[in-house]
Structure 1
Amino acid sequence: MSGRRGARGTGIRGPHSALTDFLAANNISAQEIRDSYRQRVQRAEQDAPPDADNGEGPSNTENNGEDPTEEDLLAESSVMAAERSRKRKRNQDEAIAKIKKGKETKKKAASKKKKKGSDDESDFEDMMDMYKKAKPLPGQLDNCELCSKRFTVTPYSKAGPEGGLLCTPCGKEMVKEAKAHEKSTKPVVRKGRRKIESNRLDGMTMGGPKSLQLLCIEKLAKHSEDIDELGEMPEGVMNRISEIFSKKRAMNSTTMKLFLQPDMESVAIHEAAYLETEDYNQIFAVCPNVKRVSLRNCCQFKDSNIDYMNEKAKALTDIQLLGANLVSNDKWAELFIARGQDLKSFKVEWLDAAFDDQAVEALTTFCPNLERLKLERCKRIGKDSIDAIARLHHLKHLTLRFYEPIPREKLIHLITSVGAHLRTLCLEHFLDDSVDPTDDVLEIIHDTCRHLIKFRFTENNECTDAGYVNLFSNWANPPLHYIDVNSTRDMDNTNPDGPEDCPIGLASDGFREMMSHSGKRVEFLDISSCRHISHSTLVEIFDGTRQYPHLREVNLSFCPVVDTEIIAGVFRSCPMIKKVVTFGCFQVADVVVPRGIVLIGAPRAQDQIEQFGEVVFDFQKNAQKEKDDMRAMGRIVPVMG
């Protein structure tokens, strides 16, 4: 032993022994063990009785002052390691118990303070806080408030219940308990409100419980992946199921097969974004006799699908494709050549890669018997397409929305050519290159169109209120069922009220003439953003005396003069009203909505409150009437005196 110590003293280092590795791994100092051992030996010699000098000392001093052996050091170190482990475990348990006890003490103190309501004690505590010791900065050493363990303070050190700092294990335990407490006390949030508002925006309003048919359809959509087939169902029910599947994003390559049957003549997929190119071919393979196809968001519909459709679907007459941007101009022309005289309806929308004026020219050349045409948001078509459409003399339904400004002369030529047989005329966002407002388009509609049922003329800042007055005055066209004239107003932001002498867009006189012409038959009315209609005119039209028996839906959004009085007048003047939209009408408040009507856009309105009418039952008058009837029958004898 002395030889080894001498070797270490000279600075010579050899291989490590097992004892050295064990001591280093457990952070135990051999010198500390020796000093502790010598102190116990000396303490035992001092405590020994006088008669023990005959050589019989304590059992632990049998080495007679010599250094402990390696076996003694190993045994001693094992004992110290076990003792440290027990102490660490005991400190952690005490820290956790102290956290819980501190929270309970803090809650009791807070409740006691509330009961006493003593301001003097709080002032004294605030004064004593001034003399408290400042918390150590990050990088300094401090003792944990709960387990008294020495640790290095960091910016993330948690504060204890009594204001001190906590070590990392105690801080984690406190955060875990705080999260558990917060989760248990968190209020339950209703998850059905978003669903209700979504249904209202879709126009789905119902009172009372859902129908059995609707419950079954929703259950089908929820478990769409587990359905093998739907069986034979009516076309209306099948279309309704397809709508709900599309809304829930459940229409994919697997569920699409449920809506395909060999004898089907109409296929409508309202959300085809998840379908692949091969899925569209399967539609025409399973349903070779299909006549009407409607595919929305068909972003994977390609040229190969056009070829397969021309080969298989020989009876196809109605085509509606929304978002088919992967079809080239040549394939559009081949489609029109293949369909030829049979194509009756053609609708495309949201096309930006192809379908230009040449495609429209091919459509009007090879499909002259078109009765329904809808071209909306196709970026590559322009003014040359107007002349091509003017050659379709069999058109009954026309919907156009161009991005490029269209000269007024071409639009007038189009209406003059096809307007005599039109039943639907929708012109959206038609702007001219000229700056001066003019009513030529409305005049030609008044002179040409005689059979319109649906009229949409939106986002226009060229026609004046006088033009709308002339359109609806003495118009030979029967009353309209559908009217949409939203955003027909002056677009000058510096003068939002427009010119006073001649208002731009639909204003008070034009709206009054419109309701005089079509009010008895109109079912849908949209005058949103027609800000030049005055409050007095709206009160006059919806005064409760004038009745509009067929009006079911009205949109008054962003008309700043609309208030509670006007909305209440709408409810009284429209006995069949189902939906009223009032976005941006901030003067609408405290409206009592009758049963079966949905009011959208008024955040302060009381939704779905039942109203039983305005009939007041006069009990006194009714009782007197009953007495008179009984007196007439001789059951009541007048008392004289």
Structure 2
Amino acid sequence: MAAERSKKRKRDQEEAIAKIKKGKEAKKKASKKKKRGSGDDSGSDYDLVEDMYKKAKKLPGQLENCELCDKRFTVTPYSKAGPEGGLLCTPCGKEIAKEAKANQKTAKPIVRKGRRKIESNRLDGLTQRGVRSLRQICINQLAKHAEDIEEFGEMPETMIDRLSEIFSKRRAMNSTTLKLFLQSDLDKLAIHEAAYLETEDFDQIFAVIPNIKKLVLRNCCQFKDKNIEYMIEKAKKLEEIELRGANLVSNDKWTELFIARGHDLKSFKVEWLDAAFDDQAVEALTTFCPNLERLKLERCKLLGVDTLDAVSRLEKLEHLSLRFSKDVPRDRLVLMVDQIGPNLRTLCLEHFVNNTFEESEEMGEYSDDAILETIHDTCVKLRKLRFTENYECSDQAYVNLFTSWSNPPLRYIDVNSTRDVDNASPEGPEDFPIGLASDGFQALMKHSGSQLQYLDISSCRHISKETFADIFNGEKQYPHLQEINLSFCPVVDTEVVAGIFRSCPQIKKVVTFACFQVEDVVVPRGIVLIGAPKAQDAIEQFGETVFDFQKELKKEMERDMAIATGRVVPLMA
């Protein structure tokens, strides 16, 4: 009897599944008929009447017959609906659910990459036109399966640096993946995102790479005093240090580091330090590191006037970058540049704005333009100049800086956000413009245009349209300029951008954010225009290949003439 019941149950389920399939086929046929129909409403009244006299669905707790197998069951809130509107028992409902899941698996959804991610990669320089190289594909696969890799093997340092950048961008640099980058034969290591590393991981760096000469750690928030002690003990050949966010290192440990390794130290860069590293630490740095050639102190909140005096005593310093949070007197900054300026090849002074210049007692002989005057008089070896976010120096000061300057033409110039900030007069004073304006820009390009490779004049909104059109008129040539940033210069339009393409034969990148008059630009091949004014457009516009019909026609005519004169014998078909 039990075997017969099970056979009967299986037969009923098979009949129910067959009935479901028939119901679906009938629905498909009915929908096709409706689509093919003439569109009249002849059957609409009948459907309304039929809906009125439909049997009401049973409530939970009541008894009902299954629509497919006619089995009597108790209705629950989870009872499935059948193909014809009735209710199904639990076995039939499960079969319906299984079939629906199978149909969903066969139709895989199309996964599209978000536009925001694409544009982010483009701005980071991680996208390229055309087919990816085999090397790039391998690097991406390594970064994708970071947790499954045991070792990199023998790789060049450039490849390891590139992998470190990708791992850092994907937040994949942790205690496990760090071991892949620790190779005893290396002499430098750069970790661009060390936020997920623990204090013990930093000790591993010096244990595995005792001969390290260059160390770059960014966002190293767990780098502590004991790591400095281990560094002093193990890394005896260290020459270059760059640490960002090492806020757990005390002033005493910084001083110990400078005493122990200061004589060999040639480059020292720190950034984003709030809790420690004050003027006394900089005093120790300049005292025990006499051979320092590169120094970068940015966004260190405890640094003040005494730091300027200490830096001015570095006789071998060639590259200097400063960005302070505290107010400093103008005369002390001028004196620092006056003492170290003759040897400098790089000078970066950021965010020395109006409110960072305090009046000192000996301020009478120094004007607002004194810093640029000092750069003009003392700096004769500069290759890179960054002087940004300054709202004091006038346009005439920039004219005087670049006029009759004994310094050779600069290769890198960044003077963004040097403008007047009076909200009542956004265009600035006409008679005495503040910041880089038309005359200053003319003098800049006349002095350095022949060797300039990078130019950033974003937010220098006092430069006129006529000046842009005159400098980039197609006749004046700037043979080495590769990248220019014109963002937030409202007068820049299509004509100016087209002129840049004609005047700069080596240009590769033009940035025009918030230049809303740039429209319908024909971008030449090999150039990228970033900052499309319309939100629905892509941020980047890549130049496509342009077929030169006149040039090809000339080639065909020359070939035909050569064949006619017998100088070239045509190939036989």
TM-score by length of 1: 0.72
Q: 2:333 aligns with which of 398, 401, 411?
A: 411
5 Å-filtered alignment, 1:550-629, equals 550-602=480-532, 604=537, 607-612=541-546, 616-617=550-551, 619=553
Q: Which residue matches 1:357?
A: 279
Kindly indicate whether the alpha-carbon contact (under 8 Å) linking 2:354 and 2:391 is maintained by their aligned counterparts in 1. no
How many Å separate the matches in 2 of 1:186 and 1:160?
A: 25
1:392 corresponds to 2:325 = no
Contact (CA 8 Å) 1:140, 1:152: kept in 2 or not?
Answer: yes
| 2:384 counterpart residue number | 454
1:478 is the counterpart of 2:408: yes
Compute the displacement of 1:352 (Å): 1.6
The question of whether the paired residues in 2 share the 8 Å contact of 1:94 and 1:146 is answered with no
Of residues 203, 216, 220 in structure 2, which corresponds to 1:294?
A: 216
Tell me how far 1:450 sits from its aligned partner.
1.9
In structure 2, the partner of 1:114 is 35
Question: What per-residue deviation string (whole Å, max 9, x for no partner) do you get for residues 338-357 of structure 1?
Answer: 22333221101121221122
Shift in alpha-carbon separation, 1:409–1:141, aligned structure 2, 3 A: farther
Matches within 5 A, 1:207-356: 207-222=129-144, 224=146, 225-228=148-151, 230-231=153-154, 233-356=155-278
Gap change, CA 1:624 and 1:279, over 3 Å in 2? closer
Deviation (angstroms), 1:374: 0.3
Q: 1:440 to 1:145 in 2, by over 3 A?
A: farther
Q: Is the 8 A contact 2:346 2:384 kept in 1?
A: yes
* Pick aligned residue for 2:125 from 199, 203, 207: 203
Q: Counterpart in 2 of 1:525?
A: 455
Partner of 1:383: 305
Q: Residues 140 and 261 (structure 1 numbering): CA distance in 2 closer, same or farther, change over 3 Å?
A: closer
Identity across matched positions, percent:
62
Q: Residues 31-42 of structure 1 correspond to what in structure 2 (within 5 A)?
A: none
Deviation (angstroms), 1:580: 2.9
Displacement, 1:452? 1.3
Q: Which runs of 5+ in 2 are unaligned?
A: 359-366, 568-573
**Kept in 1: contact 2:318–2:345 (CA 8 A):** yes
Tell me the equivalent position of 1:488.
418
CA-CA distance at 1:400 after TM superposition: 1.1
CA distance in structure 2 between the aligned counterparts of 1:535 and 1:512, rounded to whole angstroms: 12
* 1:246-303 Cα shifts (integer Å, max 9, x gaps): 4444444454444445454333333333433233333333433333222222222211
CA drift at 1:310: 1.8
**Does the aligned pair in 2 maintain the 1:594–1:609 contact within 8 Å?**
yes
2:555 & 2:243 partners in 1: Cα distance?
Answer: 67
Aligned AA for 1:227? E
Task: Tell me the secondary structure at the aligned position of residue 480 of structure 1.
Answer: coil
Distance of 2:484 and 2:546 partners within structure 1:
22
Tell me the C-alpha RMSD between the 2 structures: 4.3
| Distance in structure 2 (CA, Å) of the matches to 1:562 and 1:162 | 67
Give the Cα separation in 2 of the matches to 1:553 and 1:220. Answer: 31
| Aligned-partner Cα distance in 2 for 1:621–1:308 | 70
Q: SS of the residue aligned with 2:252?
A: helix
Higher mean displacement: 173-182 or 327-336: 173-182
Aligned partners of 1:562, 1:575: CA distance in 2, in Å? 19
Q: Matched residues in 1 for 2:436 and 2:378: separation?
A: 21
Query: Following TM superposition, by how much is the alpha carbon of 1:307 offset from its aligned partner in structure 2, in angstroms?
Result: 1.5
C-alpha contact 1:422 1:449 (8 A) present in aligned 2: yes
Closer/same/farther in 2, CA of residues 613 and 94 from structure 1, 3 Å limit: same
Deviations 1:96-121 (A, max 9, x none): 66665555444433332232241434
Which amino acid in structure 1 is aligned with residue 294 of structure 2?
R
Cα distance in 2, alignment partners of residues 407 and 422 from structure 1 = 22
Tell which deviates more after alignment, 340-349 or 428-437.
428-437
Q: Which moved more, 1:427-436 or 1:301-310?
A: 427-436
Equivalent-residue separation in structure 2 for 1:632 and 1:617 (angstroms): 23
The verdict on how the C-alpha distance between 1:92 and 1:234 changes in structure 2, with shifts beyond 3 A counting, is: closer
The C-alpha deviation readout for 1:433-469, integer Å capped at 9, x for no partner, is 3799943333332233222111112223333434333
Partner SS state of residue 118, structure 1? coil
What letter corresponds to residue 456 of structure 1 in structure 2?
Answer: R
Query: Counterpart of 2:274 in structure 1: which amino acid?
Result: D
- Report deviation, 1:521: 1.3
Aligned-residue offset at 1:175: 6.9
1:172 to partner: Cα distance: 7.7
**Structure 2 length normalisation: TM-score?**
0.79
Shift of 1:229: 5.6
Greater helix share, structure number:
1
CA contact (8 A) 2:251 2:281 kept: yes
Q: Which amino acid aligns with 1:404?
A: K
Counterpart residue type for residue 599 of structure 1: L
Q: 8 Å contact 1:431–1:460 — kept in the other structure?
A: yes
Q: Evaluate the alpha carbon distance shift between residue 632 and residue 430 of structure 1 in structure 2; reply closer, same or farther with a 3 A threshold.
A: same
Indicate the larger mover: 340-349 or 135-144. 135-144
Which SS does the other structure have where 1:509 is aligned? helix
What SS is found at the alignment partner of 2:391? coil
Q: For structure 1, which segment, 171-180 or 291-300, has the greater mean C-alpha deviation from structure 2 after superposition?
A: 171-180
What is the CA-CA distance between 1:334 and the residue it aligns to? 1.0
CA contact (8 A) 1:135 1:164 kept: no
| SS in structure 1 at match of 2:270 | strand
Structure 1 residues 548 and 164: CA distance shift in structure 2, 3 A: farther
Larger Rg: 1
Kindly indicate whether the alpha-carbon contact (under 8 Å) linking 1:387 and 1:414 is maintained by their aligned counterparts in 2: yes
Unmatched runs of 5 consecutive residues or more in structure 1: 1-77, 634-641
Please state whether the residue corresponding to 1:341 is helix, strand or coil: coil
Change in 2 beyond 3 A, CA 1:210/1:623: closer
The structure 2 residue matched to 1:402, chosen from 321, 324, 333, is: 324
- Corresponding position: 1:421 with 2:421: no
